[in-house]
Structure 1
């Protein structure tokens, strides 16, 4: 059992298809198929059920995968310790992050990190939704940037910032003029605040129901006693924000967007009532070895809002 074998089996299990796994590994499908057959023959068990055109992990396969993840994790921890000993002349750190935060946060993080460790490489793995924390739990990243809460039986975390959920509107639309007249300044708030009811009847660029900011919008509408008028539903915050810039609709966005996005022609408002928040944190597995470089990277990330 070598590291190559372990990785091939894990990739095939993750992709659920020989063709997709072969593409991911950069080899041909027949080569991968023969390689898996050799592993199964050597182990004397069938790791994958190939019937029905799909690839399904067998009970024996799950045993192999669990062991493979532990072995690869030990290898990764050993490499991190060797990097400490070599004083970071080379090596890499893998960071998991959502596509939205990757665009807005990672350029500054990479720039600061490279000043400290010019010989090291940051590998950015973009994930969306639950797959980010799922892959983090399986040791795919050294660190990840995610929303709280997380499973504290599995993860440790350090808070990066408390993100206020803001209302974003195009400054050339009637809603901006209406909100501007009624907005008030509240101590401790960066942006002028408006009443929930002032957005009743306005058209919104929304996200999927499972997204945190969309849940906040639904809660606000429920409290104020109206239903959101959906102008367009978007898959990403980037697309949603582009719709605001184009004047198609208003949107609720995390405050980090206002800091790192191209906000030309866009005004932001807070809410006069209870303010929706979400916590952003740098997350890593419990009992995970953290090299000095990883610890320094964590400090760079948590100091972003300072």
Structure 2
């Protein structure tokens, strides 16, 4: 059994298609099929069901892929440790990020990091909160930018930034008259809410804030994009909670009105990684750079434009 065969099997499982997997692995499809058949013959079990439309894991295949990912991750960690021991400043760091949060945070952090460590390659992976937690727990990202609470107990984290949560309102909404003060969440029980779709961490924050105020929000629209949420609010379709860093972004000619909420609810941005995972010097440097830059620019991030 060879490491490359494990990598081949993992890629096939991810794509559920031999052609796409072969393309990403930069090998010919017949060679990929041959290597998989050789692996299955060696271990004595069938890893995939092949059919004309897709490739599906067998029960044995699911167990095999889970173990193979751990082996590949362990090999990568050994390489990182050896690189650090030899004081190599070259490397590759896979960083997961929520799309909108990353759009506001990473442009501040990445230029500083690349100036300090020009030979370290950063690979960005953008996905939903639930998917990023899974990728991080599996070792498929070195670090991921997420917000609390984390659902996967396999993850550790370091806090980066405490950020206020604001209320977005249609421009002509009666509550905009109170926008100079603070609005109690309990006042919003009868309001139509626009929220992010399931799997997005900020959706849970919205549900939790309403639950703490004693009601379940009346959800009228869902979106996977916080910018779309704000556009729908601006169009008068409902209200929404939004992180301060994305409030009043320059994403539309029509923007909602914003108000602070009583009690000043916040969300906590964190950098997460798998418990027990070796953090390379590159990863530690990235965390330190991110914390430094965000602390320096915290007032700008917290203040809506």
TM-score (norm 2): 0.79
- Aligned pairs for 1:105-254 (under 5 A) are 105-150=105-150, 153-169=153-169, 173-175=171-173, 178-183=174-179, 192-196=181-185, 199=188, 204-208=193-197, 211-218=200-207, 223=213, 228=218, 230=220, 232-244=221-233, 249-254=238-243
Q: Which residue of 2 aligns with 1:80?
A: 80
Any gaps of 5 or more consecutive residues in structure 2?
A: 296-305
Q: Which residue of 2 aligns with 1:269?
A: 259
Deviation at 1:199, TM superposition (A): 4.7
Given that 2:183 and 2:261 are in contact with CA atoms closer than 8 Å, whether structure 1 keeps it comes out as yes
Q: Output the CA distance in 1 between the equivalents of 2:277 and 2:210.
A: 42
- Residues 244, 111 of structure 1: CA spacing in aligned structure 2 closer, same or farther, 3 A cutoff? farther
- Residues 266, 124 of structure 1: CA spacing in aligned structure 2 closer, same or farther, 3 A cutoff? same
- Residues 221, 118 of structure 1: CA spacing in aligned structure 2 closer, same or farther, 3 A cutoff? closer
Given that 2:131 and 2:199 are in contact with CA atoms closer than 8 Å, whether structure 1 keeps it comes out as no
Given that 1:145 and 1:280 are in contact with CA atoms closer than 8 Å, whether structure 2 keeps it comes out as yes
| Alignment length (residue pairs) | 292
Give the 3-state SS of the residue equivalent to 1:45 in structure 2. Answer: coil
Q: Which residue of 2 aligns with 1:187?
A: none
Q: Output the CA distance in 2 between the equivalents of 1:155 and 1:9.
A: 25
Deviation at 1:80, TM superposition (A): 1.3
Given that 1:145 and 1:283 are in contact with CA atoms closer than 8 Å, whether structure 2 keeps it comes out as yes
Give the 3-state SS of the residue equivalent to 1:289 in structure 2. Answer: coil
Deviation at 1:113, TM superposition (A): 0.9
Give the 3-state SS of the residue equivalent to 1:150 in structure 2. Answer: coil
Q: After superposition, what is the alpha-carbon deviation per residue over 1:7-57, rounded to whole angstroms, capped at 9, x for unaligned?
A: 110111223333443444345544433331122223333222336854333
Q: Which residue of 1 aligns with 2:291?
A: 302
Matched, 1:46 2:46: yes
Give the 3-state SS of the residue equivalent to 2:145 in structure 1. Answer: strand
Q: Output the CA distance in 1 between the equivalents of 2:243 and 2:44.
A: 52
Given that 1:158 and 1:302 are in contact with CA atoms closer than 8 Å, whether structure 2 keeps it comes out as no
Q: Output the CA distance in 1 between the equivalents of 2:73 and 2:219.
A: 48
Q: After superposition, what is the alpha-carbon deviation per residue over 1:125-155, rounded to whole angstroms, capped at 9, x for unaligned?
A: 1121322111111111111112223367522
Deviation at 1:122, TM superposition (A): 0.8
Give the 3-state SS of the residue equivalent to 1:32 in structure 2. Answer: helix
- Residues 180, 46 of structure 1: CA spacing in aligned structure 2 closer, same or farther, 3 A cutoff? closer
- Residues 152, 199 of structure 1: CA spacing in aligned structure 2 closer, same or farther, 3 A cutoff? closer
Q: Output the CA distance in 1 between the equivalents of 2:144 and 2:288.
A: 13
Deviation at 1:91, TM superposition (A): 1.5
Q: Output the CA distance in 1 between the equivalents of 2:67 and 2:215.
A: 53
Q: Output the CA distance in 2 between the equivalents of 1:210 and 1:74.
A: 28
Q: Which residue of 2 aligns with 1:16?
A: 16
Deviation at 1:203, TM superposition (A): 5.3
Aligned-residue Cα RMSD (Å) equals 3.2
Q: Which residue of 1 aligns with 2:246?
A: 257
Q: Which residue of 1 aligns with 2:280?
A: 291
Given that 2:146 and 2:271 are in contact with CA atoms closer than 8 Å, whether structure 1 keeps it comes out as yes
- Residues 18, 152 of structure 1: CA spacing in aligned structure 2 closer, same or farther, 3 A cutoff? closer
